[in-house]
Structure 1
């Protein structure tokens, strides 16, 4: 008799949990519903004719509010993201920036857990102008059909290392 009662309570609990989860997933989300339509947008970034890997590419709309970004792969390719990974971009015209920074930290040997480090520098692996909307000179237009052939062709030499702290 006791097992039958336990079974009924257990069964009822499973049914209630299942129904509540179905209700959660069935609700609409105002933030997702309010998103503008996106189109596929991808391309390749190069520097001096060579693939630019591990760089951050940002597409800032000339008009509108929805920027898109990507990290370049080893072959320089990128797939733009606006909301969810690789979901694309809003069609329109964009100013484009590209950055690739290397940060060096050397902890204090006497106490490596303490900040600030004994040595701290940053180094742009591409010309600094590409990191500025006002100076990059890079623009792109993404059509309403999408664009899978965006080309970002950078030229120039890396910037000199900028030492932020050297307490050695």
Structure 2
């Protein structure tokens, strides 16, 4: 295949091919991340845990990840691209139990609250949570939340019956 190329061209071609084969298609490193979330000492079920990678100066950090807690408050992260895990590095973390849906997309006032927020604002909207995902991954991304549920304005929508 390379016999008709000059030696220097052959060498450069082989080096370029080797670099291409050695590089991953994923420009970020994903590792397994799981943990447990509690609120006031009790497992927090049916909460969405989202990790948003902080680039620290990099242009492409990678996708965010999220998971939903089970009855014991346990969760496992998956990226928004349906890849298992989270990007290695620093993340802003948001935890929320609020869920809503529009019954009619033509009428923006027809928002139905499916699940009320039980998590204090400092852990979701005004999050103070951060987590550093280590290169080896972790099963210890645990969050012990405290505080009272925020009072939502009923004008946000109708509650599901």
Query: How high is the TM-score relative to the length of structure 2?
Result: 0.65
5+ long unaligned stretches in structure 1: 1-31, 108-114
Measured on the aligned residues, the alpha-carbon RMSD in Å equals 2.9
Contact 1:120 1:164 in 2 (8 A): no
Shift of the 144–102 alpha-carbon distance from structure 1 to 2, 3 Å rule, reads closer
For residues 70 and 157 of structure 2, what CA distance do their matches in structure 1 show?
A: 33
Equivalent of 2:123, from 119, 123, 130?
Answer: 130
For residues 78 and 56 of structure 1, what CA distance do their matches in structure 2 show?
A: 9
Q: How does 1:3-14 map to 2 (within 5 A)?
A: none
Query: How high is the TM-score relative to the length of structure 1?
Result: 0.63
Is the aligned partner of 1:142 residue 2:139?
Answer: no
Is the aligned partner of 1:61 residue 2:53?
Answer: yes
Shift of the 120–144 alpha-carbon distance from structure 1 to 2, 3 Å rule, reads closer
5+ long unaligned stretches in structure 2: 1-23, 56-60
For residues 104 and 36 of structure 1, what CA distance do their matches in structure 2 show?
A: 33
Contact 2:28 2:62 in 1 (8 A): no
Report runs of 4+ in structure 1 exceeding 2 Å deviation.
Answer: 32-37, 102-105, 119-123
Shift of the 71–36 alpha-carbon distance from structure 1 to 2, 3 Å rule, reads same
1:51-99: CA deviation from partner (whole Å, max 9, x where unpaired): 01101111111112321111111110010011326x1011101111111
Q: How many residues align?
A: 125
Shift of the 69–104 alpha-carbon distance from structure 1 to 2, 3 Å rule, reads closer
Structure index of larger Rg: 1
Contact 1:45 1:77 in 2 (8 A): yes
More helix by share: 1
For residues 104 and 160 of structure 1, what CA distance do their matches in structure 2 show?
A: 19
For residues 66 and 156 of structure 2, what CA distance do their matches in structure 1 show?
A: 30
| Structure 1 residue 128: Cα displacement | 2.1
1:91-135: CA deviation from partner (whole Å, max 9, x where unpaired): 101111111115599x9xxxxxxx665x95673212122212xx3
Shift of the 161–65 alpha-carbon distance from structure 1 to 2, 3 Å rule, reads same
